[in-house]
Each structure stands twice: as structure tokens, then as C-alpha cells.
């Protein structure tokens, strides 16, 4: 009888102990709390950056659509022939015109592609490119602060070369790699081939600029 009672007491004690163990609350350490706060902060920063990026893309897309609806072509630069003025991936806006002057950056059609180059010679001009890369127009060396550096480049013309009527002599700013009017492969650009004059770079945002 006494043994049976003692057994019941022991069973009840174990049950109470188990309940206490199950109900025990384990508090996180200070380090664990700091880690969780840091994780939440990083997540908040990521969401903030993501939101800003998406918002910027939406704004640029809206501007591009708006501009295109006013017949101003939006183009993406591919390649390095116009560096350092325009780098690979830059998005530019053109103005449809065939009224060009020396120094303008022009977009034109070539073999079902659109190329970007700078106008160097106007119809009737005499062009000479010397072996050191110096460019002369009508026997006068021109100032070219925009180029990557002088270079004879891919060149198979006989100089002095006269630009035909209704055509433009164009060259890339990265003279050593650009294939342009110095080569008979490209030749001079006719007015019919001209898409327009590049007016501004709009993307990336930190590269935004108005082009004269």
C-alpha cells in the first residue's frame, strides 16, 4: 500500500517536471538579437535598392516611349567605335534631320544596321588623313578634343579625297578601332541613309548629357 502510494507520488513528480521543462522559455542571446536586427536591416536596404532601381527603369522606359512617340528615335550604342564620347550600352536619343554640320554625331543605316559616327566632312570638302592620324579638312588640320587619340586606322582611300555631293564623310571617335568613311567598305554616308542627329545620352543616368 505504501509502495503503491510512493509510486504514484514519483509518477506525479515526473509529470510536473516534464511540464515545467516543456513550458520553459529560452531567451535569445544578445548576439542572436544583433544578428537578427542586421538581417532585417539588410533585407530592408535590399528592398529599398530594388524599389529605386525598378522606379528608375520605369521612368527611363516612360521617357523613351514618350520621346519615340514624337518621332525621336531611341538607340542603344553597341561597340566601342564612339568611345570615349559614347560607350557600349549607352542609350541615346536622335533628332530626325538631314541638316548636318561638321562635328555632329549622326545615326545612319548601313547593311540593315544603324551605325553612329561623327561628321568630319561635308559635301564638296577635301579630306586628308595623314599617317600619324591628323585630319585635315580643306587643307586645314581640325581640332578634335573628343577623340580617343589620333590613328590612321582602317584606311584605303587616296588623299586628298573630295566628299561627293549629298554625302558626308564620317569617322568614329575611337580612331584605332572604328571602321568608317576612311574605308571603302563603309564609304561616305548619303542623305537618304541618315536616320538623324544624336542629341542626348539618357542612360545610364550618371552618363546623361546633351550632345552638341
The residues carrying an active-site annotation are 81, 117
- Copy the grid coordinates of residue 209: 548629357
- Copy the grid coordinates of residue 87: 560607350
150 CB-near residues (< 8 Å, 6+ apart) = 132, 133, 134, 135, 144, 175
91 CB-near residues (< 8 Å, 6+ apart) = 60, 64, 74, 75, 76, 77, 201, 202, 203
DSSP per residue, 132-190: TS-EEETTEEPP-TTSS-----S----SSEEPPTTEEEEE-SSTTT--STTSTTT-PEE
Amino acid at each position: 500500500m505504501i509502495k503503491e502510494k510512493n509510486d504514484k507520488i514519483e509518477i506525479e513528480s515526473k509529470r510536473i517536471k516534464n511540464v515545467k521543462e516543456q513550458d520553459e522559455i529560452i531567451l535569445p542571446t544578445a548576439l542572436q538579437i544583433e544578428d537578427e536586427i542586421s538581417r532585417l536591416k539588410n533585407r530592408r536596404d535590399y528592398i529599398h535598392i530594388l524599389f529605386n532601381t525598378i522606379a528608375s527603369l520605369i521612368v527611363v522606359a516612360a521617357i523613351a516611349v514618350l520621346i519615340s512617340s514624337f518621332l525621336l528615335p531611341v538607340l542603344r550604342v553597341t561597340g566601342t567605335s564612339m568611345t570615349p564620347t559614347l560607350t557600349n550600352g549607352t542609350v541615346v536619343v536622335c533628332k530626325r534631320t538631314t541638316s548636318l554640320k561638321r562635328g555632329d554625331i549622326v545615326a545612319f543605316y548601313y547593311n540593315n544596321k544603324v551605325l553612329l559616327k561623327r561628321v568630319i566632312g561635308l559635301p564638296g570638302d577635301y579630306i586628308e588623313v595623314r599617317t600619324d592620324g591628323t585630319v585635315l579638312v580643306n587643307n586645314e588640320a581640325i581640332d578634335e578634343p573628343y577623340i580617343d587619340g589620333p590613328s590612321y586606322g582602317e584606311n584605303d582611300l587616296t588623299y586628298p579625297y573630295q566628299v561627293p555631293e549629298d554625302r558626308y564623310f564620317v569617322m568614329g571617335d575611337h580612331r584605332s578601332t572604328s571602321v568608317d568613311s576612311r574605308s571603302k567598305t563603309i564609304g561616305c554616308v548619303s542623305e537618304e541613309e541618315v536616320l538623324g542627329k544624336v542629341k542626348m545620352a539618357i542612360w545610364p543616368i550618371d552618363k546623361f548629357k546633351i550632345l552638341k
